[in-house]
Amino acid sequence: MTFTVTDLDDRLAFGSSVTGLDPDTLDDPAVRERLRALWIDRGVIVFRGVPGGTESQIRLSEVFGACEVHPLRPVDAVSAPELSDIRYLPEDGDIFTVDGEPRGGWLPWHSDLIYVDSINHGGILRPVRLPEHGGGDTGFIDQIAAYDALPDELKERIEGLNVVYWLQLDVSTARFVHVTGLECVRLRSSSARIMDNVDTFPRVVHPLVFVQEETGRKVLNLSPWFAQGIEGMENDEGDELLHRLAEHAVDARRAYVHHWHDDDMVLWDNWRMLHSASGVHPDDVRHLQRTTITGDYALGRIELAEGQISHEMRLNV
């Protein structure tokens, strides 16, 4: 093969590093098959030193699936439609106080698009401008390993349960994000505009556990950010269970934290990995671009309001 694969972290059962990949080989069926198998097996791939910038990022993403336009991508975005800008600017960016420290562009542990019924399968991140004063790292935690580490009694208790999610960009109001002293200092203008229309987003439901089709491994399918409660158990009992699971899911001992270099590209499997952003100094700048790799594990659904019935139910009436 035309590239070399090594483990990202000897402590962890997920994550690989790929070096020596030539973009001109991406049309080779053998190269594509090996890369896709590696992605399913390891969940996160860090590509180092791949030339070609934006063009290579999009072509590499298409090895793993078609690129789609992210539903929250601003209509006036200037980058290619396949790309979303993950940008923090001092004059217009989210700022949260975390553990007493203001951080620009900080994001808690989450799955992308868990607040819609069809979750994208993954994405590739590439840095455009890295912060001058450090920070801006991206963390990943494998929810296959998180499920395996659960006590048997919890595995039995959560089987068949579903979680309700809803879009909420002010992380300080997230019910199951466990961060000391979390406060919202400012939302960027695009986030504020979205929150002005948040009632147009319905609540959605996803299973708390599902099986990775290719391997039969079970995944703890919990994104602490955006979670509202357990379906049919939005009460003290359900909340206590979800708090316990959320603390378990984000155990830092199972995390890989990526410290960015200019020539990195990082692919992750959004169906099994939680990710986070550590944030930067509020006066700094951070700009990454991300593709959104389409897919649907076909287990999510829009929550029905009281008295509504689904299309499938109507067909059976």
All residue ranges of the chain with pLDDT < 50 are 307-317
What are the distances in angstroms from CA 21 to CA 59, 98, 267?
Answer: 13, 38, 14
Residues 244 and 236: their CA atoms lie apart, in Å, by: 12
In eight-state DSSP terms, residue 254 is G
Per-domain boundaries in the chain: 4-68+75-304
Residues 81 and 68: their CA atoms lie apart, in Å, by: 8
Q: Which residues of 79-89 are buried (b: 16+ CB within 10 A; e: fewer)?
A: eeebbbbbbbe
Question: What are the phi and psi torsion angles at 201 (to 5°)?
Answer: -90, 120
Q: What pLDDT was estimated at residue 77?
A: 63
The percent of residues in the chain predicted with pLDDT above 70, rounded, is 94
- Which residue, among 119, 208, 114, 117, has the nearest Cα to 160 in the 3D structure? 208
Residues 207 and 243: their CA atoms lie apart, in Å, by: 16
pTM of the model: 0.93
Q: Which residues are paired to 309 by β-bridges?
A: none
Residues 302 and 116: their CA atoms lie apart, in Å, by: 8
User: Given the structure tokens 């700022």, which residue do they identify?
Assistant: 95
The token duo for 176 is 């199951």
Strand order in the sheet with 273-277: 107-110, 273-277, 138-142, 255-258
What are the distances in angstroms from CA 38 to CA 17, 45, 118, 123, 218?
Answer: 10, 8, 23, 15, 18
Work out the number of other CB atoms within 10 angstroms of the CB of residue 93: 23
In eight-state DSSP terms, residue 249 is H
Amino acid at residue number 196? D
User: Given the structure tokens 């048997």, which residue do they identify?
Assistant: 152
- Which residue, among 174, 172, 274, 269, has the nearest Cα to 222 in the 3D structure? 274
Residues 93 and 122: their CA atoms lie apart, in Å, by: 24
Q: Is the distance from CB of 229 to CB of 164 less than 8 angstroms?
A: yes
- Which residue, among 149, 171, 172, 99, has the nearest Cα to 250 in the 3D structure? 149
Q: What pLDDT was estimated at residue 73?
A: 67
The token duo for 99 is 């553990």
Contact partners, residue 84, CB within 8 Å, separation at least 6: 70, 72, 73, 77, 289, 290, 291, 292
Contact partners, residue 48, CB within 8 Å, separation at least 6: 17, 18, 19, 261, 263, 264
Q: What pLDDT was estimated at residue 74?
A: 66
How many residues does this entry show for the chain?
Answer: 317
Name the CATH superfamily for 4-68+75-304. Answer: Clavaminate synthase-like (3.60.130.10)
Residues 307 and 229: their CA atoms lie apart, in Å, by: 20
